[in-house]
Chain A
Amino acid sequence: MADQEITLMKGNEAIAHAAIRCGCDGYFGYPITPQSEVLETLAEQKPWETTGMVVLQAESETSSINMVYGGAGCGKKVMTSSSSPGISLMQEGLSYMAGCEIPCLVVNVSRGGPGLGTIQPSQADYFQSCKGGGHGDYHLIVLAPSSVQETADFVDLAFELAFKYRNPAMILSDGVIGQMMEKVVLPPFKPRRTEEQILKECPWAATGRPKTRKPNVITSLELDPAKMEEINIRIQKKYAEIQEKEVRFEEYMLEDAEYAICAFGSAARIAKKAIEDARKEGIKVGLLRPITLWPFPYKEIDKLSNKVKGILSLEINAGQMVEDIRLAVNGRIPVNHYGRLGGIIPAPDEVVAELKKMMK
């Protein structure tokens, strides 16, 4: 079947193809390394001639995210992608969309910071992605792919979750996954929803008011504190439900493990190699890879801490996810962090050395 064809492509290209195939209605973006291939691939594919998907290069990331806001508010399946500095510019829009409770997909192919930083890969946007990023009490649903295949698969999944919970979803990739070429089976084609389907599925959307209903208003504003508190409580309940139902993670060689590495995205790939090497030296170590960074697998790490003697958080940053691991572990066992900064990728032998340090 043509749909099942294996192709070789970059993570960024896979995002573009997956978006077209999952029936995305609109993409709005602004060039930035290392993710520009997303918009470039879409421009080359011309989906407006095939599926009718709108593709627009905006004047800034501020504008991209607000185009996404407009599109999401009228019930469409819309997305943007960028890299760290651009994602910083989008925080206002993300906060508004979380407040309006409207769905969208934002892809961050992250690079090293702070500031203009480097165009090399980094995972230093964990805090920004998982802890709010913009103003107010809100969360994004955050998926962290560790292969090109997962990148492609998560586009549809992220949209599904975003629409299910009416909340922005993010794919937190990085320069490694975005730029790396790998084998991938692209998801099958799904037609874009028809006008009728959108009106049925999104009765809240601002699409023009027939006489039969009240106006639909997409807003995050409420000046009455009692009502605003109610809205916030409702949103928090939704977050609790997401935490209950949507945690995703992968376990690797944990059955007999005495030590565990926790790593996500590209760092998890390095962790797997380090685990193989360590096991050759007789160190019983496995991996817990959070796939959803928010909701975070606190319960699973809590359980893990009753089984292993220590956890090493391997991140390509100065230690961000390690804070969540420590929360889950609650002081029962040592939790260390190892990471490299500024666009340097940690090597497996460094990780093995770090494991040995923890075992002493």
Chain B
Amino acid sequence: MDIKEIIQPENLVYQKPELLNDTPMHYCPGCSHGVVHKLISEVIADMGMADKTVGVSPVGCAVFAYKYIDIDWEEAAHGRAPALATAIKRLWPDRMVFTYQGDGDLACIGTAETIHALNRGENITIIFINNAIYGMTGGQMAPTTLLGMKTATCPYGRDPKLHGYPLKIADIAAQLEGTCYVTRQSVHTVAAINKAKKAIRKAFEYNMAGKGSCLVEMVSTCNSGWKLSPVKANKWMEENMFPFYHIGDLKDINQ
């Protein structure tokens, strides 16, 4: 068979998304960030919304998200992305606006901005990368760090007497009147990736239909912070993160 016969659209099984550019990503091997970037790029392109989308990047490992996805971006201060997104969406109501935030950014320093944007029912989507750690600054404890989990600032394991309890932001978000879709996904298997992509698409579509705020939490790995190889990190996530951060929809006003 001639190679030209093989290179046909109907035989295509995988393609780099057109919005994901060729800039080498700085993410560690096995990190969930890169996969989620790919999904966002695909969804925006699938929806034909590249010229109408504005992303807001966080302070955290994804601070350079704007270098990888070829759309317009604003880079927020640590935790403030939902405030920026609120204004962008209100001032350009026909635009598709999302934030991309880590657990330190969203569930700690930016908790107020997050809760209030969701509670106001801003028509934005918050993509929330929950890796239970501060990846960028070298693996310190996050509000989402599991009990007993060791980090640079709780080297003997997270102790609730000293550090309090892990925060389930998605559970809080689901209680808010302003949210229309709150889901918890992951990207550690092909099946999970496909579901996660559908979740992002649904969230963006709800926003464009004016239904309210969406939170798509991605339970994620941080290989460097967890000090585990990509395979071991995925296994650790399934065994330790999923029992606490249950995967699935927490709220969908259309269900």
Residues on A facing B (Cβ under 8 Å): 25-26, 28, 54, 56, 58-60, 62-64, 66-71, 73-74, 76, 78, 92-93, 96, 100, 206-211, 214-221
Contacts and interface: CB of A to CB of B under 8 A. Distances in A.
A220 B86 contact: no
A221 B53 CA distance: 21
Contact of A69 (B64, B84, B91): B84
B80 A209 contact: no
A68 B73 CA distance: 15
Given A207-B54, A216-B72, A217-B75, A71 B88 contact: yes
B208 interface: no
Given A63-B112, A208-B53, A221 B63 contact: yes
B252 interface: no
A208 B75 contact: no
Residue with the highest number of chain A CB atoms closer than 10 Å, among B64, B75, B91: B91
A216 B66 CA distance: 9
B112 A60 contact: yes
Given A59-B113, A215-B66, A217-B66, A206 B90 contact: no
A208 B54 contact: yes
Contacts of A209: 50-51, 53, 70-72
A206 B88 CA distance: 9
Contacts of B56: 70
Contact of B87 (A59, A70, A96, A207): A70
B197 interface: no
B207 to A, nearest CB: 14
Interface of B: 50-54, 56-57, 63-64, 66, 70-77, 80, 83-88, 90-92, 95, 112-113, 116
B108 to A, nearest CB: 14
Contacts of A78: 87, 91
Given A68-B87, A71-B87, A206 B72 contact: yes
Given A25-B91, A56-B86, A210 B75 contact: no
Pick the 6 closest A-B CB pairs, nearest first: A70-B84, A66-B83, A70-B87, A219-B75, A206-B72, A66-B80
Residue with the highest number of chain B CB atoms closer than 10 Å, among A58, A60, A217: A217
Nearest to B56: A70
Nearest to B83: A66
Contacts of A60: 112
A69 B90 contact: no
B51 A210 contact: yes
10 contacts: A26-B90, A60-B112, A69-B77, A69-B87, A74-B74, A92-B77, A100-B75, A207-B92, A214-B70, A218-B73
Contacts of B113: 59, 62-63, 66
A69 B79 CA distance: 13
Contacts of A92: 77
Given A76-B91, A96-B77, A66 B50 contact: no
A207 B71 CA distance: 9
Contact of A208 (B51, B57, B83, B112): B51
B86 to A, nearest CB: 6
A96 B66 CA distance: 17
